[in-house]
Structure formats: structure tokens, C-alpha cells
Structure 1
């Protein structure tokens, strides 16, 4: 089908990034994402035939590239629980307009899969790690998996030639004492650590504003390790020339003045970046979500399996985006945090 001009939404935001959830399952039960009392042994996870097939995902991603998408991130749940993931990666990497293909993971399965992921065409990996202290790590992830298993995954990815960044969700009174330890480790290892303000994603994590450690406070603590200076203009995106930065990106990037790499903060709560958000999300059952904090999505799997043409599917996606008015983080209050929203494990972080 012919490429058409990319759509913009009600606030003139283009569509450039697509996050694709490949499973709703995870081998962790992180308190801010999949609390065990909700996602326990009796929780009804999706059946295999409900999930989009790799062929369906690749077809949809290809259609989204005609709307302007050129960056794709595979998420979950834990995406490496989906068997034969390199096959999907190879399919997406082979699409003409894709310039950046990334994966978000908790890292524990990377020793088994990193080499195959890299060979299939994956560009980079983001690993979620909220503490280096083993006791804190196990408490947050609510598993018996030691932090050394995550660190082994990071090393496996690097050994396979995959650039790695680390995301750390900071919650006051839980792991905020780990901020400087995580940053110091990143400096030593040459790994960018990005500190994320604790968000009210979904409706099951018990979010309270008092639990948020503002990005400004995070930077103040980081500064105890050495002087920091902003990259670019200091706003989310930094230097436009880097494929991992530019408009629509969420991290405020800072470099250590002594040249020992960089660090980032993601301030979705205290400094919302809704006005530059160019990201859509595709759930593992083929629902298109236009915001991480959405309450519902637009079904694409149904039309796909009912025989819709490429043009018909693209029209649905285009109309969904052009009518988009999401700016939840700019409108957040203590009251909106009580609203029902789709869970992060369902559409990816």
C-alpha cells in the first residue's frame, strides 16, 4: 500500500514510536506493576490463541510505519517469556522504515537469549533494576530471584554487543536510599541509569503522591557523586541527532562533568511531557492504546482476523490517533489516581 503523510493528534503530536506487548505474563511480581495479591495463582492470564501471532504483530508494525512509526520497543509482561522471540525481532528488523528496535526486560532470561536477540536484529536493551541491595531487590520484585541474576543478564547483553540502559523506579521509603549506589554503579560500568518517578499506572499498585521522589530531588542526590550538566537543552529528548533522543523522548539527560558517562531522570509526575508524547501502545491482544494511563483501547485484532485489508486497518489506527486528546500526566490529581486504568503489565511500561 502507498505511504501516506503521518497523522497528528488533537494537539499536533505525530506518531513515531510504538510499544508492542507480546505477553501479559511475568516471572516477577513487582509491587508497582503486578502485585501478587492481584496477580496470584488464581489470576486468569491470556490464552495463547488470544495473543497476536508474530505474523500479525509484524503486519501491524509494518502498517504503523506508513503512519510515521520508525521506533519499536517490545515489552510485556516479561517479553522473553514469549517463546522464539528472535523470530519476531527478525521480522520487525526487516521492515524498511524501522530505525530503532529495542526490548524492555527484567534481565533474568538474557543469559539464555541475548546472543540470538542480537543476531536477529535487536538494536538495544533496557533492563529494569530497582536496587543493587539484594534484600531490597527481592522485596520490590517479590521473588526469590537474586539481583546477581539481573546483573548476569546485563553482562550477557553487553557481551552480545547490545547497548544496555537501566531503568530504576524510585519509591520513597522503599528504594530511594539506592539512588546514589545505582548511579555510582552505572558510572563504574559505563551504563546509563535512568531514574523514574513512581507513577500511578493501572489501578492496583496503591499509588500515593507522597511516595513520589521528585526528579529534582533525585538530581540533587546524584550531584553528591560529582557535578552534572544537561545534555542538549536539559528537557526530555536532549540532543536531537541521537536515535534514542529527540522530540517525543521522555528522559532528561545529564552527563557527569568528569566524562564518566551520563544519567537520566524521567519526571512523568512532577514535570509531565505529555505535550511532546508521540508514543502509541499495542497490547498483546491487539488493542491500540494512545496513553499509558488509558482506560480502554481500540481493537485491531478483530478486524485483522476478520479479513480487513491493510488500508482498512490503517484507517482505524489513523482515526484513533487523530482523535487522541490524552494528557493524563498534566491533569493528574490525587483523585484521578483512583480511576480505573489498564494495568502496565497488559500494555507495557
Structure 2
């Protein structure tokens, strides 16, 4: 079957699937007051997820990333993982987590079939970490990362949202950490959403500044894989780990877009900052609806815009990143 392609010729081997919009952290850039509005109990069932992923796999999607909110708040998270791993065509199943109880649970995630993990660590300073997230859990997250390595995971990606005056002075600390440790740090440029405009104006830190520092120190940009996320990845001969930069305000950021998103309620989002989604859930109620589901997905791609228009202050319907996992 012909792979998914939009009017700009971009192909989409990568689906980010939110399995809940509930999050138990209070990150200052996303949910500073906690998760007050969510639809956790209404999220897609395991059978609906199976039908959804089966349809996407039939049109060339090979990589699935489970996101939230915090995906591991689903009591059936391991069932979701095992179900997706059995779907023909899916070559890689990744997850993004805030690391809650990761030290206790990561081996269960890996045993269920997770192939790759992104974990949020916005600071290596316990006090700054608690200030950012509302939780004193840095030690358990770092222990969880080590447990994943001990259980055979070859590498882990760590997400850190760069914020002026909060953690922008920690580049050296992160680089020291990965000198002899196979972690890929992802510095993510703070993005403006519907609920954080004042915060964005105060704390936005351009990823370009980190890029300039890396280049000055001899870091070299790596080639991007076909199913990779949006990060520009850099390596250095003196370091076991790598550094990725996600700079959504950079020129031509959207040219290489290769991923689609589905919310926990079954809405196909053509962009993180789309005004609204396309409902797929009515076609997830039986296995006999696969042909119609694929047709709706294909038709929807005709509506995908060239760009997210973030640089113009456009945030679409995205009020906070927990709505669909970033």
C-alpha cells in the first residue's frame, strides 16, 4: 500500500500516540497549577489503539512513540505496549515519560517490549529540578535511567527544556554527565502555547545559543535518520553521549516533518500547533472499518500546512503540551 505523503511531498513513518492527557507533574512551562482538566477515563481503549496502529502500519508507519500527559499513568500501559509490539510493520516502539517511579518500573516497560525511552530531566540540580517540576524525584529518575542500562537498553534520550535564568547555565553539567555515559541530551527550545505566553516571553532561551557553544567546542552534526525526531544531533570524539537540539523557531524547521500525532481521544493532529484535529475514533470500533480509517487518514493529509507558524505567534489549539505529549 502507498505510504502516507502530504501535498508537500513529506512522508510519515513516525506516529506519536498519546494514551492519556493526565500528568502528575507540575512543570512550570506546561502545567504550573497541575493537571486540572483532563479526559483520562475517556482515553482510547487497548482495542481502539490496536486498530489505530494497525491502520497506520499498513500505510508505512514503522515507529510509534507513546506519550501523554504521562503515559505510564495508564494501568494498562504494559498491555498497550505488548499489543502494539505484535502489529506487523511496527519496527520501533518508543515512549516519553516524566520518569515517575522509573526506578521501580522501567524493567517492566522494557520486558513488555519498549525499544527506546525519552525521559524528561530539565535540571541535574535537585533544587532546580524540584522548582521546575514540583517534585523532588531527580534521584529516582537518574536511578531509573541506570536500571534501564543495567537491563540492556543501549542508550536513553533525556529531554531538557532550556529556560533563561532557570537552567541555561547547566550546559557544562549536562556535558560532564554524558562524557562517559551513553545518554543523548535533547535541549528543547521553550515553545509558546495558549497558556504560557507570559512565561514564554520571560524565559525563552534560543537554541541557537547552545548550538553556537557546541560548535565552538568541536561538536559535529550527525546525519539524521529517516524515522528520527526533529532534533539536530551533535557528537564529539571525547564524549560517549550526544546532544540534540530541538529548535522549532529555526528557519525551515518544518521542511523535514516526518511525524503525525493522535491524541488520547482519537483525534489526528497534523501539527502540534494545529487549530483542531480530525476525529478517527468512530472508525476504531471494529476491525471491519480499517479501509475507511485508512482513507480518512489519507484524505486528512491534504490539509497539512507547510509550517507551524510559531514564529508569527500562532499556537493553534494547543493550550499546553500535555494535551498531546509535545
Name the TM-score, length of structure 2 as normaliser: 0.92
Residues 47/219 of structure 1: CA separation in 2 closer, same or farther (3 Å cut): closer
Check whether the contact 1:248–1:279 (CA below 8 A) recurs between aligned residues.
Answer: no
Rounded to whole Å, the distance in 2 between the matches of 1:220 and 1:265 is 11
Deviation at 1:7, TM superposition (A): 2.8
The 5 Å alignment of 1:238-257 reads 245-246=225-226, 249-257=229-237
Following TM superposition, where does structure 1 have runs of at least 4 consecutive aligned residues deviating by more than 6 angstroms? Answer: none
The 5 Å alignment of 1:83-102 reads 83-102=75-94
Deviation at 1:259, TM superposition (A): 4.8
Rounded to whole Å, the distance in 2 between the matches of 1:207 and 1:336 is 16
The 5 Å alignment of 1:1-349 reads 4-36=1-33, 39=34, 43-48=36-41, 50-143=42-135, 145-162=136-153, 163-204=155-196, 206-208=198-200, 211-222=203-214, 226-232=217-223, 237=224, 245-246=225-226, 249-305=229-285, 309-328=289-308, 331-333=309-311, 335-337=313-315, 340-349=317-326
Deviation at 1:301, TM superposition (A): 1.1
Rounded to whole Å, the distance in 1 between the matches of 2:47 and 2:287 is 14
What SS is found at the alignment partner of 1:305? coil
Check whether the contact 1:248–1:277 (CA below 8 A) recurs between aligned residues.
Answer: no
Deviation at 1:270, TM superposition (A): 2.5
Check whether the contact 1:202–1:293 (CA below 8 A) recurs between aligned residues.
Answer: no
- Alignment: residue pair count: 325
What SS is found at the alignment partner of 2:170? helix
Residues 217/336 of structure 1: CA separation in 2 closer, same or farther (3 Å cut): same
Residues 251/27 of structure 1: CA separation in 2 closer, same or farther (3 Å cut): same
What are the Cα deviations for residues 146-185 of structure 1, in whole angstroms up to 9, with x where unaligned?
Answer: 3112212212222222231111110111110112211211
User: What runs of 5+ residues in structure 2 fail to find an aligned partner?
Assistant: none
Check whether the contact 1:166–1:194 (CA below 8 A) recurs between aligned residues.
Answer: yes
Check whether the contact 2:13–2:227 (CA below 8 A) recurs between aligned residues.
Answer: no
Deviation at 1:217, TM superposition (A): 1.1
Residues 170/272 of structure 1: CA separation in 2 closer, same or farther (3 Å cut): farther
Name the TM-score, length of structure 1 as normaliser: 0.86
Rounded to whole Å, the distance in 2 between the matches of 1:119 and 1:268 is 34
Rounded to whole Å, the distance in 1 between the matches of 2:193 and 2:147 is 30
Residues 272/259 of structure 1: CA separation in 2 closer, same or farther (3 Å cut): same
Check whether the contact 1:114–1:157 (CA below 8 A) recurs between aligned residues.
Answer: yes
Residues 124/340 of structure 1: CA separation in 2 closer, same or farther (3 Å cut): closer
The two structures, once aligned, show a CA RMSD in angstroms of 2.2
Check whether the contact 1:33–1:205 (CA below 8 A) recurs between aligned residues.
Answer: no
What SS is found at the alignment partner of 2:44? coil
Rounded to whole Å, the distance in 1 between the matches of 2:19 and 2:110 is 18
Check whether the contact 1:9–1:325 (CA below 8 A) recurs between aligned residues.
Answer: no
